[in-house]
Structure 1
Amino acid sequence: MSLSPENVKQVAHLARLELADDQVGPIAEKLSNILAMVDQLSGANTQGVTPMAHPLDMHQRLRPDAVSEPDRREAFQAIAPEVDNGLYLVPKVIE
């Protein structure tokens, strides 16, 4: 698929990009090359290929789920202006 300079100008307008007239030709050529490559990829045979979430078959290494800080909720809530049943009470801001 080949883009005309008018197509590039229209896309630039929609994207709110300002292009000088001398930039339109090279950009049209580069975008046409990208679209040609996408067309080439679209023609690839994908029958029997299972979709995957990630190209690498790896698992994320996670740290052990262990408590590393002491529970200081009581100390923090002791200095709070208003607390009810373990929750901080704040003024209503939406009517």
Structure 2
Amino acid sequence: MHWLVLVLSGAMEAVWATALAASDRFRRPRPTLVFAVSLALSMAGLAWAMTALPAGTAYAVWVGIGAVGTVLLAVLRREERLDAARAVLLLVLVGCVAGLKAVA
């Protein structure tokens, strides 16, 4: 259960990072609200997951999921391009995150 919460918290990190960029320095109300809510959910989930998982591993997994998710959201929104090199590096990052989960 802790791993599931950690994965969802990592997804929320991608949401808050995307909303933060869209908030235009907190001048746009809707993205600012999405940022605040998703940030709170992401941090609460990470904190709860760390009660049963090693802190370093949990944090690395959370950041990895958030980083990959943020890039994928930007690609889906056509704000960034996904070339072959970036795709390979994202796959390596996912492999590292999976490896951390496997050995924890």
TM-score, length of structure 2 as denominator length: 0.27
Pick the structure with more helix per residue: 2
Pick the structure with more strand per residue: 1
Higher RCO (CA-CA < 8 Å; seq separation 6+)? 2
TM-score, length of structure 1 as denominator length: 0.29
